[in-house]
A = this chain, B = another copy of it.
Amino acid sequence: MKNQAYRMALLYDFYGEMLTDRQKEFYDLYYNEDLSLTEIAENYHMSRQGVRDAIVRAEAVLTELEDKTGLIRRFQERQKELRQLQELASAAQAANADPVVGDYLRRIQGLCEQLKQE
């Protein structure tokens, strides 16, 4: 479970709202707050296994959503292309001597940066 923390954070970011409130709580405590299964179980007066099952189910829901929609895969491809776009704009900027073109290139770079954050 925790060895997949980065992958899970991405999944949660894209699809977290599809989980139940309880699943979100456990997920957050386990992955973001880094509590152990035993600590969560004690806080909620449940068995460790019960907490574990809830988190495993939540992971299954998130993983299925990605398997079926591929939206994270598409997001990552897009990020790669946006980085290429920025590199091209930087190279163009380095080769350019015209102030008008330079201004357009700066705006292109700014918009690429904005797109990468979305």
- Closest residue of B by beta carbon distance from A14: B69
Contact check: which of B17, B68, B104, B111 meets A81 at CB < 8 Å? B111
Interface size, A (range): 20 to 34
Stretch in A26-34, A35-43, A49-57, A94-102 with 4+ CB within 8 Å of B: A94-102
| Centre residue among A69, A92, A98, A111 by max chain B CB count within 10 A | A92
Chain A interface, >50% SS class: helix
Q: Are B96 and A101 touching (Cβ within 8 A)?
A: yes
Q: Are A101 and B92 touching (Cβ within 8 A)?
A: yes
Number of copies: 2
Q: Are B108 and A108 touching (Cβ within 8 A)?
A: yes
Q: Are A18 and B65 touching (Cβ within 8 A)?
A: yes
- Nearest CB of B to A77, in Å: 7
- Nearest CB of B to A40, in Å: 24
Chain A contacts to B: CB under 8 angstroms: 14-15, 17-18, 65, 68-69, 71, 74, 77-78, 81-82, 84-85, 88-89, 91-92, 95-98, 100-101, 104-105, 107-108, 111-112, 114-115, 118
